[in-house]
Amino acid sequence: MKMTFRWFGEGNDSVSLNHIKHIPGVEGIVWALHDVPAGEEWPMDKILEIKEQAEAHGLNIDVVESVNIHEDIKLGLPTRDKYIENYKKTIEKLGKVGVKVICYNFMPVFDWTRTNLFQELEDGSTALFYEKAIVDDMDPIELVSTISNNPDFTMPGWEPERLEHLTDLFQAYKEVSEVDLWNNLHYFLEAIIPVAAENDIKMAIHPDDPPWPIFGLPRIITSQENIRRLLNLIDSPYNGVTLCSGSLGANPENNVAEMVREFADRIPFAHIRNVKVYENGDFIETSHRSEDGSVDILEIMKAYHDIGFKGYARPDHGRHIWDEKCRPGYGLYDRGLGIMYLWGIWDSLNRYKEQGDVK
């Protein structure tokens, strides 16, 4: 297992490369060019700048998260081919600097969705929280209008600069079904997987977060069955999945450890985190420790160990602890603790295997 740590860039993150290199066992950063809009080709000079910064601290840049996909590709519009060509060119550039994995998602309009960025836990720490009833009751188009007239309203993903585009996007997606979204994903993969293979880069789709439709928008990477379908669309080792225990674990019906074992050779990248799921469908992110959440991290780590996982992994979102001021979900402290918990499990499994005690 190759441990990595997400980094948002100098001046764009409270976590420095110097912090990251102090975490035991971390080999590289998970990065992106966050200032390049979705659909545009990544400039080589900016890619090289990240490479130089990381390597100066002894860290690799093997994993990119994410090269975002333009909405026209997800919508299947005639303009998608232009953006797919830009995506291919970006893959080629990343291949030249040694990138091995590109994490991406195919979620319409929104990436991960939460209703509260700083919900308090019992111990006084805070974490990302999803209140199902709030999202279920929303009429997104009416809400856009409400937010525009209420500057005090805040919700992740509904930033003022996005509001003017959200209404048009919601209207456009009214005509897009799950079948359409699958077809549009297939079209995209048919175009880019050959380029990824030529450049020895594994494409690793991230599951939808949460793993169910929201705001009337279709979502398709939500379950073991659907991941199986995704991998069968293009039967290639370069068409893989970023298996995220937290995203998938928000639905108690998903057995992540079972997915690890089934999709073993198609998981180039793993996100490992925990969530506590409530009976009403709400969930909150917790420490990585199995006992603190609803996801059996111990069993998931055992599954990775059993398959001899040699891919990349990172602790995903963490709590906000010790009065740290940080990007929501991406504090240094709790993710650092998470890594040590994961290494503790991994090292113990190694020792037990050496002694013949692993069952």
Q: Does pLDDT of 143 surpass 80?
A: no
3-state helix, strand, coil in the chain (%, to 5): 40, 15, 40
Helices 44-55 and 80-96 cross at an angle (nearest 10°) of 40
**Choice among 316, 333, 334, 341 that is catalytic:** 316
**Choice among 62, 103, 173, 271 that is catalytic:** 271
The pLDDT value recorded for residue 109 is 87
Q: Name the residue ranges covered by the structural domains of the chain.
A: 2-109+177-273+294-355
Q: Average of pLDDT values for 109-115?
A: 86
The CATH code of domain 2-109+177-273+294-355 reads 3.20.20.150
**Choice among 312, 330, 333, 341 that is catalytic:** 330
This prediction's pTM: 0.93
**Choice among 317, 320, 333, 341 that is catalytic:** 317
Residues 150-161: pLDDT tens digits? Answer: 655 555 555 555
Confidence of residue 215 (pLDDT cuts 50, 70, 90): confident
Pairing label, strands 312-315, 283-285: unpaired
Q: Which residue has the higher pLDDT, 353 or 241?
A: 241
**Choice among 244, 288, 320, 341 that is catalytic:** 244
**Choice among 206, 288, 305, 320 that is catalytic:** 206
271 is an active site residue: yes
The pLDDT value recorded for residue 139 is 75
Residues 163-214: pLDDT tens digits? Answer: 667 778 888 898 899 999 999 999 999 999 999 999 999 999 999 999 999 9
Q: What percent of the chain has pLDDT over 90?
A: 78
Range with lowest mean pLDDT among 50-54, 148-152, 251-255:
148-152
Determine contact, residues 313/320, Cβ cutoff 8 Å.
no
The pLDDT value recorded for residue 165 is 74
244 is an active site residue: yes
Q: Which residue has the higher pLDDT, 320 or 143?
A: 320
Confidence of residue 288 (pLDDT cuts 50, 70, 90): very high
19 is an active site residue: no
The pLDDT value recorded for residue 242 is 98
Pairing label, strands 202-205, 101-104: parallel
57 is an active site residue: no
Residue 88's closest CA among 71, 75, 77, 73?
A: 73
Q: Which residues is 182 bridged to in the sheet?
A: none
